[in-house]
Structure 1
Amino acid sequence: MNETLNEAMSDAQFTAWLRNTSARRLVLIEVAVYSGGQQRTRFLSTGAYVTAPDDTPPNLAYQSIVSTGMQFTEQLSLGGEASLSAGDIEIDNPSGIRDAWLNDVWMNRPIRAWIGDPRWRRGDFRLIFNGVVADIAPKGRDKLALKLRDKLQRLNTPVSEAKLGGATPNKDAVLPLAFGEVHNIAPLLADPALLQYQVHGAAIEGVIEVRDNGLPVRITADNASGRFFLAAPPAGTITVTVQGDRPGTYANTVAALLRRLATAYGKAGDRFVEGDLDVANLAAFDAAHPQAVGLFLAGRTNVLNACQMIASSLGAQLVMSRLGQLRLLQISLPPVGSPTQVGPQHMVAGTLTPVSRSAPTASVKLGFCKNWTVQTGLQTGIPVQHKDLFETEWLTATLADSEVQAAYRLDAEPVQQDTMLLRRVDAEAEAQRRLAIGRVPRTVYEFDGTAEMLALELGQAVRVTHPRFGMEKGVVGQVVSLAPDWLTGHVKVGFIV
């Protein structure tokens, strides 16, 4: 293989180079930092490297001061909550010559890394990480450590801090936000004199109904501004059911709402753009999961938490690929897609090891169709069953497996897991999916993989064959953790079966 290729290198050529134990490996790092009163980019590397005169950028020398490659771990949470992948980079600091770097501002600055051969042109290096710096810290007397996070860190900002304004008593209140369909929310009184209420800080699809102490009342809706006007002064508590945020086309599915939140809310400078999204993954998730959801935010909530409340409704997680694109993944057994074959030849000998085992679950209880304003003791003339609904925060769907319960002597009543799902049929289907996964103990295994395994991705299906652990004929599992070491061409792989 020609290691100074001018044309684009194929994946097969790149893998062959990684597999070559005598190959010279070099990591190039470009990291933004606020230093000396201005934004700068520092160009670091694990070895000497200068770009060619006709490279982009030309004649650029990288500082050979990084003492380790990219040490970074990607993982799916087995509990379903969002998790920020993490790692660090060690920088040489002999005799404290870079102590001043500790006074620079690194936090939440972008960082990218590439790997290649010192003899390659800059354009042939492969991107292996695209994330942000959490911070910098000393690591002993002669090292500094850049603490890394994936780009989900950028979503750790308030969804919105826009306030009502004006001169009314609620002028300092944060504008409410409604995504998808939400039931019986408490709107913000925007103007007492005009009987004007705000349900969303922008245009909405429409108001379904407004109630005063549980009784339906007449209103005039202003969908373009997310408001409505009462026809008469209220007698009690005003609540409203609404189909919310409409940027142009109304959407109420998990993938569509996450895309909207990540790209249009939070701090303007931290919002994702199209290039930060794995568009194909989100489109596939949307096609496979059309269940309707709804989320109402009446105060300060950060974007990542809001996204995860929606995603977890279907047991999904927000994950950044190592190339810095947002994906939606589920723990799903058996996993979706054709499994990649993994055998002993893909493992460092003797490294396949069980690392954890889950307890079985005999039942699942999901909360759905949230009543966002619980009202007790309503005295208005509405049917008793309606009053009962207004007193209930969640409708629930419960499924149980009596055989598992008896075999493992488990309690019958599960802990309720709340979702943003709207329909019972969807909640029951999701409960069935979770019960099918949890009804048997699940084991997570790890092994040190060879260069071919560096191409694995989180959530991917694998079929693992090995003489140990009942895998003689192969078992199908799902990749749940990856810790690549690009300088050695190995990767620690975790999978669940």
Structure 2
Amino acid sequence: MNDEQWISWLQSSSAIRMVLIEAQVNVAGSELTRYIASRPYVTGAQEVPANTEYLPLATGGLAFTEQVSLTGEAGLSGGDIELDNADGALDGWLDDVWMNRAIRVWVGDPAWPRTDFQLVFDGVIADVASPGRESVNLVLRDKLQRLNTPISEAKLGGATQNKDAILPVPFGECHNVAPLLTNPATLEYGFLGAVESIFEVRTNGKPIAVALNEQAGRFNLTTDPFSTTITASVQGDKGSGYAPRIAPLVRRIATAYGKAEDRFTEADLDLANLAAFDAAHPQPVGLYVADRTNQAQAIQQLAASVGAQALMSRTGKLRLVQIALPAPGVPVEIGPEQMKERSLHPGARLPVVAAVKIAFDRNWTVQAGLTTSIPPAHADLYATEWLTETVADEAVRARHRLNVDPVQIETCLKTRADARAEAARRLALNQVPRTIYEFDGEPEMMMLELGQPVWLRNERFGLQDGVPGVVVLLSRFWLTGRVTVGVLV
């Protein structure tokens, strides 16, 4: 079934909709798949899976809400599937282990072969619950939940005082980090795995000579520092080739770190999206992980450096989306024909800003009052955690009576030019009033994705001629074909 046929079916008032659900679960220590549907359905001998009965248990929920955060935090995505348990037959399911298991949902017609059903959700079960005697609910999250685990828990080991310390991981270029003392007897310091370059080691801010072993991510001091602070600047992780940019680092963190069983594979990535994002955002970045920072948090920190966010597509592919107006790409036309009558309304108004302050090139080891023979200007830099760049519009400040001293936005950016460009971009986006309009869409609007460019037109709210917008909210109700859409304009 092609996209045109699928959309035609979605638009049909005579369509009989049903869902097929395949949920992983651990029962008494064994992993298995439970096959669930909203109507009776059995696959044929030549289908995949073959000769399989989907139990008609799904009665409610069957919805998922996802949104783009406009504050820099990860957007909340969640939903649920309600299963009929009026006769108590599913009571035992509450004792099974559902948490962090995969779940996939397809939509189609009871008369269709299994291959024609369309995947509408590929995510994770957060937990199982029973809101009452009559039902069991599967609580859903998107697949980013799989990355809610520490980047690394690799400890140094051995018998030194740091044996239980986690080996730090530098991503991209990191300035003045504190490496781990890995061998006091040989004055060896280092990181987890190979690095591209350790290009300056300092004792109390003063450069010193060392013996480098960058393939091991280690270096040895040639003289005893007598308990002073050792720091280094490092170009980090090079497991798949050194690439200090957002998209390659996101890809590396998602597929090579965290728990092996939960890591993403290439099949979990929207590779075309990541390639396009990398081409559009070549800014060098740096992120130093010396604790139990989890993968999702690190990925969001990197993406947020350019006002972007890591999101999952409706078919479970990791994407990077920057909120911009106009958004890149060919916009989807949305007019009254794609909306339920009289459903369009303003959902939220975003605050106007008159200035944006970007923090960049983080000093990962702040050292105040250095007394070594380094220039005073250098000592001042080592005492400062962030460099900052501010872009302001005095006319906007005066018109809206705003404070021109903005809250600092911390990023992983490295250069002043990139920080200033990002501050100017964010100011241009937010120095005019912005509104999120919400509406109940016709079934074909279920095909939209977060971050997708649209052209929004309506007879109300000054939208008569249409304006560019970007999708920031989607609540899909799979069984009814209803969808609530939020568009930022």
TM-score, normalised relative to structure 2: 0.98
Where does 1:12-411 land on structure 2 (aligned, <5 Å)?
12-68=4-60, 70-198=62-190, 200-235=191-226, 236-411=228-403
Counterparts of 1:233 and 1:16 in 2: how far apart (Å)?
A: 75
8 A Cα contact 2:7 2:444, kept in partner = yes
The worse-fitting range, judged by mean Cα deviation, of 46-55 and 67-76 is 67-76
CA-CA distance at 1:84 after TM superposition: 4.1
CA-CA distance at 1:339 after TM superposition: 1.2
Counterparts of 1:248 and 1:93 in 2: how far apart (Å)?
A: 49
Query: Secondary structure at the residue paired with 2:211?
Result: strand
8 A Cα contact 2:147 2:258, kept in partner = yes
Residues 408 and 419 of structure 1: CA distance in aligned 2, closer, same or farther (over 3 Å): same
CA-CA distance at 1:133 after TM superposition: 0.2
Which structure 1 residue ranges, 5 or more long, are not aligned?
1-8
Counterparts of 1:137 and 1:484 in 2: how far apart (Å)?
A: 21
User: How many residue pairs align between the two structures?
Assistant: 488
Query: Secondary structure at the residue paired with 1:165?
Result: coil
Where does 1:409-428 land on structure 2 (aligned, <5 Å)?
409-428=401-420
Query: Secondary structure at the residue paired with 1:175?
Result: coil
Counterparts of 1:301 and 1:59 in 2: how far apart (Å)?
A: 45
CA-CA distance at 1:177 after TM superposition: 0.6
Counterparts of 1:399 and 1:98 in 2: how far apart (Å)?
A: 59
Structure 1 letter corresponding to 2:203: D
8 A Cα contact 1:112 1:130, kept in partner = yes
Q: Deviation per CA, 1:437-456, whole angstroms, max 9, x where unpaired?
A: 11112100111111221221
Counterparts of 1:158 and 1:463 in 2: how far apart (Å)?
A: 40
Q: Deviation per CA, 1:42-72, whole angstroms, max 9, x where unpaired?
A: 0000001011122122221110010036200
The worse-fitting range, judged by mean Cα deviation, of 142-151 and 64-73 is 64-73
Query: Secondary structure at the residue paired with 1:251?
Result: coil
Structure 1 letter corresponding to 2:97: V
8 A Cα contact 2:61 2:80, kept in partner = no
8 A Cα contact 2:66 2:75, kept in partner = no
Q: Deviation per CA, 1:98-145, whole angstroms, max 9, x where unpaired?
A: 111111100000000111111111111111100000001012220111
Counterparts of 1:449 and 1:156 in 2: how far apart (Å)?
A: 32
Structure 2 letter corresponding to 1:53: A
Structure 2 letter corresponding to 1:240: A
Q: Deviation per CA, 1:402-435, whole angstroms, max 9, x where unpaired?
A: 0110011111211101001000000000001111
Counterparts of 1:54 and 1:298 in 2: how far apart (Å)?
A: 52
Matched, 1:489 2:481: yes
Counterparts of 1:53 and 1:490 in 2: how far apart (Å)?
A: 33
Query: Secondary structure at the residue paired with 1:159?
Result: coil
The worse-fitting range, judged by mean Cα deviation, of 278-287 and 36-45 is 36-45
TM-score, normalised relative to structure 1: 0.97
Query: Secondary structure at the residue paired with 2:283?
Result: coil
Counterparts of 1:61 and 1:100 in 2: how far apart (Å)?
A: 20
Q: Which residue of 1 aligns with 2:426?
A: 434
Counterparts of 1:248 and 1:317 in 2: how far apart (Å)?
A: 23
RMSD: 1.0
CA-CA distance at 1:338 after TM superposition: 1.9
CA-CA distance at 1:373 after TM superposition: 0.6
Counterparts of 1:373 and 1:18 in 2: how far apart (Å)?
A: 56
Query: Secondary structure at the residue paired with 2:115?
Result: helix
Query: Secondary structure at the residue paired with 1:268?
Result: coil
Counterparts of 1:56 and 1:182 in 2: how far apart (Å)?
A: 49
8 A Cα contact 1:84 1:150, kept in partner = no
Which structure 2 residue ranges, 5 or more long, are not aligned?
none
Counterparts of 2:401 and 2:315 in 1: how far apart (Å)?
A: 46
Query: Secondary structure at the residue paired with 1:224?
Result: coil
Where does 1:446-457 land on structure 2 (aligned, <5 Å)?
446-457=438-449
Structure 2 letter corresponding to 1:220: A
Counterparts of 1:96 and 1:402 in 2: how far apart (Å)?
A: 66
Structure 2 letter corresponding to 1:189: L
Q: Deviation per CA, 1:194-241, whole angstroms, max 9, x where unpaired?
A: 01001x201100111001111110001101110001111114211100
8 A Cα contact 2:193 2:216, kept in partner = yes
8 A Cα contact 2:61 2:79, kept in partner = no
Counterparts of 1:14 and 1:412 in 2: how far apart (Å)?
A: 51
Counterparts of 1:210 and 1:58 in 2: how far apart (Å)?
A: 62
